[in-house]
Structure 1
Amino acid sequence: MMRSLWTAASGMIGQQFNIDTISNNLSNVNTTGFKKNRPDFEDLLYQTTRTAGTPATEETLVPVGVQIGHGVKVSATQKIFTQGSLQNTGNVSDVAIEGEGFFRVLMYDGTYGYTRDGAFKIDSNGQFVSSNGYRLMPELVLPENFIRESVAISQDGIVTVNLPGQDDPVTVGQLELYRFTNPAGLQAVGENLFKISNASGDPIGGQPGFDGMGKTVHRFLEMSNVEIVKEMVNMIVAQRAYEFNSKSVQTSDSMLGIAANLKR
């Protein structure tokens, strides 16, 4: 069977994966704190029928060899952690990160999740939680009789509120951010959360605005960093590449048909 059939088929499979990745990016264009994926490809093994440098005569060498490739495969999918645009929401429990860092939440199984989604809620206990009820860590609990609209979070993560009968705001907590040596090595688990892996390294905690951490921006949310125009261009390129590979399959099939019809 012709090698080109399988080579072109690997190209079609690779471009289908490319389209799947682009579709996921576009479907999350309005997801708070979402970071787009980029697929990376690599060529497959080569069959070497003649090695470069093989002696041609006693005094000369073959300058180039003969190698035949076997197609392409997906080598990695990488999260691109570029800054998303900030949107002013006016909500007292919304916090965006401008710069490097993640919020940490405590999941139901006792493990930590890391997120750029700062769309927190204040539950019945006055505690900051994620949309799925995961508690922000370190815990941030507001006093029972706090004035909701007085909640303020500074760029270095200090949380203050006003209490009835008091003119001066009261400090009730301190936000912390966490960064990683290799954030692209984090494992995405859905719900806008990441978990640490051996590739990401251990989390490095710190106060916002210090030691390389980003700053916190109150009453703002970080939007997705998906760029629709670029994704559409990538989709067109992937579609055309898929078509070209399908043409290779058709051409190989046509050549096989010609060979099969030689004897008539």
Structure 2
Amino acid sequence: MLRSMYSGVSGMRGFQVKLDVIGNNIANVNTVGFKAGRVMFKDILSQTTSGVTPPGDGTQGGVNAKQIGLGVTVGTIDTIHTPGSAMTTNVVTDLRIDGDGFFAVKSSEEQEAPYLTRAGNFTLDANRFLVNGDGMYVLNSDGDQIQLEETVTAFSIGQDGSIIAVNADGTSAPTDDKIGIAMVTNPAGLEKIGGNLYRNTPNSNADGDNEELYTANDTASGTGAVISGQLEMSNVDLTNEFTEMIVAQRGFQANSRIITTSDEILQEVVNLKR
């Protein structure tokens, strides 16, 4: 009976984690570039009360083991990197990646490895650097900061990431900068650090860094096209999240019922001697 109580406790803990992840998904339903999380469970090691008996030589068949499960635990908390829907803003510096790549940003030149993000709500600062909402520098395909010259009065961004500048004399020409797109072998292995940013880990790229950047819309590397004037919204599906919330709520209630039922049985055992 004590085993059943502890199994119920493990189930309640697991579904509490599931509700925490669902709550975070719903809270970020309108966060640009947000990727939803998902909780997967796995069973805890079972207690074997009787081992396996192999079959005899025509005298007796084999007997399976008798095992009692000891509950459940959280197996993985996955980040689902499916694309979010596009939102048209018609702002030139709002960028969306139509592919699997990530924008690369740095807080300073001294930062070794850049952070990665799918949120492309960029702006120009007073020094004409392309930055994100937190002032981090957006990197070009060479890993350098992107800065427009003072003679540039307007510009556009092509799907290959190239920046087309319109000069004061009315002429237009591509600049030396192209929006840098980083590819990751295993996006689910990235570490969320807040602010719509990811940090590379040894399980996202084999070498554990982000130093190699690719030009956008590179079919060989699969980065995808850069779409100017659009943002990628969150990939959270509210219908799915509310359904999973109901499942988690009922699972939590069912496991709490295991504890109360085991407690009632223990009370009966205690009352056997009156």
TM-score by length of 1: 0.94
Residue 199 (structure 1) aligns with: 203
1:146 aligns with 2:152: yes
Specify whether residues 252 and 56 from structure 1 end up closer, same or farther in structure 2 by C-alpha distance, changes over 3 A only: farther
1:73, 1:49 → 2: CA distance? 22
Residue 128 (structure 2) aligns with: 126
Residue 173 (structure 1) aligns with: 177
Residue 115 (structure 1) aligns with: 117
Residue 217 (structure 2) aligns with: 209
Specify whether residues 206 and 170 from structure 1 end up closer, same or farther in structure 2 by C-alpha distance, changes over 3 A only: closer
2:107, 2:53 → 1: CA distance? 59
- The amino acid that maps onto 2:178 is Q
Secondary structure in 2 aligned to 1:255? helix
Residue 191 (structure 2) aligns with: 187
Q: Which runs of 5+ in 2 are unaligned?
A: none
From 153, 156, 162, the equivalent of 2:160 is 156
Compute the displacement of 1:61 (Å).
3.6
1:205, 1:248 → 2: CA distance? 53
Specify whether residues 248 and 30 from structure 1 end up closer, same or farther in structure 2 by C-alpha distance, changes over 3 A only: same
Deviations 1:6-37 (A, max 9, x none): 00100000000000000001101111000011
Report percent identity of matched pairs. 37
Residue 106 (structure 1) aligns with: 106
Aligned counterparts, 1:42-121, within 5 A: 42-54=42-54, 59-108=59-108, 110-111=111-112, 112-121=114-123
Residue 237 (structure 2) aligns with: 227
Determine if contact 1:142/1:172 at 8 Å carries over to the other structure: no
- The amino acid that maps onto 1:205 is L
Aligned residues: 262
Specify whether residues 57 and 16 from structure 1 end up closer, same or farther in structure 2 by C-alpha distance, changes over 3 A only: farther
Q: Which runs of 5+ in 1 are unaligned?
A: none
Determine if contact 1:161/1:172 at 8 Å carries over to the other structure: no
Secondary structure in 2 aligned to 1:162? strand
Secondary structure in 2 aligned to 1:151? strand
Specify whether residues 159 and 228 from structure 1 end up closer, same or farther in structure 2 by C-alpha distance, changes over 3 A only: same
1:4, 1:20 → 2: CA distance? 24
Secondary structure in 1 aligned to 2:152? coil
Compute the displacement of 1:64 (Å).
2.0
Secondary structure in 2 aligned to 1:64? coil
Residue 245 (structure 1) aligns with: 255
Q: RMSD of aligned C-alpha atoms? A: 1.7
- The amino acid that maps onto 2:48 is T
TM-score by length of 2: 0.91
Compute the displacement of 1:172 (Å).
4.8
2:256, 2:36 → 1: CA distance? 28
- The amino acid that maps onto 1:143 is E
Secondary structure in 1 aligned to 2:213? strand
Query: Which segment drifts farther, 197-206 or 128-137?
Result: 197-206
Compute the displacement of 1:205 (Å).
2.3
Compute the displacement of 1:121 (Å).
1.3
Deviations 1:123-181 (A, max 9, x none): 0011101111110113211121422xx32111110011211222334435211211111
Specify whether residues 170 and 55 from structure 1 end up closer, same or farther in structure 2 by C-alpha distance, changes over 3 A only: closer
Residue 135 (structure 1) aligns with: 137
Determine if contact 1:97/1:216 at 8 Å carries over to the other structure: yes
Determine if contact 2:162/2:174 at 8 Å carries over to the other structure: no
- The amino acid that maps onto 2:111 is G
